[in-house]
Homo-oligomer: A and B are copies of this chain.
Amino acid sequence: MLSERRLQVLRAIVQDYVGTEEPVGSKALTERHSLGVSPATVRNDMAALEDEGFIAQPHTSAGRIPTDKGYRLFVDKLAGVKPMTAPERRAIQNFLDGAVDLDDVVARTVRLLAQLTRQVAVVQYPSLTRSTVRHVELLSLAPARVMLVLITDTGRVEQRMVDCPAPFGEASLADLRARLNSRVAGRRFADVPQLVEDLPEGFDIEDRGTVTTVLSTLLETLVEENEERLMIGGTANLTRFGHDFPLTIRPVLEALEEQVVLLKLLGEAGDSGMTVRIGHENAYEGLNSTSVVSVGYGSGGEAVAKLGVVGPTRMDYPGTMGAVRAVARYVGQILAES
């Protein structure tokens, strides 16, 4: 087990390295942090920390930098979450309050997170399947053409065109709309498939084909893979990554463009509470030199989606976690109001 002081040394190393972006040596450490011991002692501690794999030397005769394992220990044991200051909280609230619709909420959230953390922000749209149906609308655009509009309690709106196998009258449409809504309104989207299973049975034989088509389009929209959307922002912050970044930035940008990768990334994170994935803890190779801080957000107690940031492993974890948590909280409030 590591002594208390060694943990302090590790904490100091992480803090200094995050601040300066340069390997930190024993002398500098004793000067900047009042550890009460001499550089030589710190050197011994550092040697021990290196043996345990918490820190490493880029080259002999350079200072130490934390390893992924070192950051992990730092996050788990040595640092808390830095709460936002009151002015920051007010700024967050003000910024988010002006949104006119869900797209706007998400867009503002992304900008906000990117600005607060000075990193790349990722915000997932509220998942359909985890939301509740507010209303399902059917619009007749042409005799055999229906537009299906799904509206969730979080303000998300999804629409699909449906080409019907046969013309579908206004009356039938109104009928379907009414029956559909009476079954699903207020229920969770995840339950919709079962709720509408036997719906076609109540219709005339000539309309049944169309009803089935509409319903299958509805179900397709709810399929996991299709229904997840997200927005990213703050990619310009990647340029602060490091001096070597041609090689670092490329795969990160590629990962960010692959929504599938990002969704998986967020999906892997724990469902409740904040998740921090450091460096190689991320399954996707391109993100091996980044850390991902994510948290679920939702209008009620339950998370309907996640948001987070992607940044270099050398990041200000307490500050980042504080910002992510605060933003998630306010976004949840906004959604609950709308």
Contact = CB atoms under 8 A, between A and B. Distances in A.
Contact of A139 (B137, B250, B338): B137
A229 B226 CA distance: 21
A157 B149 contact: yes
Contacts of A81: none
Interface centre among A249, A254, A256 (most CB of B within 10 A): A249
Interface string A239-280: 100010110011001101100000000000000000000000
A239 B249 contact: yes
B234 A257 contact: yes
A195 B150 CA distance: 29
B147 A151 contact: yes
Contacts of A137: 137, 139, 149
A243 B249 CA distance: 13
B239 A250 contact: yes
A153 B139 CA distance: 14
Interface string A167-200: 0000000000000000000000000000000000
A93 interface: no
A141 B135 contact: yes
A239 B257 contact: no
A246 B239 contact: yes
A15 interface: no
A91 to B, nearest CB: 19
A141 B181 CA distance: 12
A238 interface: yes
Contacts of A233: 257
Contacts of A257: 233-236
Contact of A161 (B149, B234, B253, B338): B338
A160 interface: yes
A149 B100 CA distance: 13
A118 interface: no
Interface string A132-161: 001101010100000101010001010111
Contacts of A235: 235, 253, 256-257
Nearest to A157: B159
Contacts of A151: 139, 141, 147, 159
A239 B286 CA distance: 14
A22 interface: no
Contacts of A141: 134-135, 151
Interface in A66-115: 100-101, 103
A239 B257 CA distance: 14
Given A139-B135, A151-B147, A238-B253, A157 B157 contact: yes
A135 B145 CA distance: 13
Closest 10 CB pairs of A and B: A236-B253, A239-B250, A236-B254, A157-B159, A235-B253, A135-B139, A101-B160, A137-B139, A236-B257, A239-B246
6 contacts: A135-B147, A141-B151, A157-B157, A236-B253, A238-B253, A239-B246
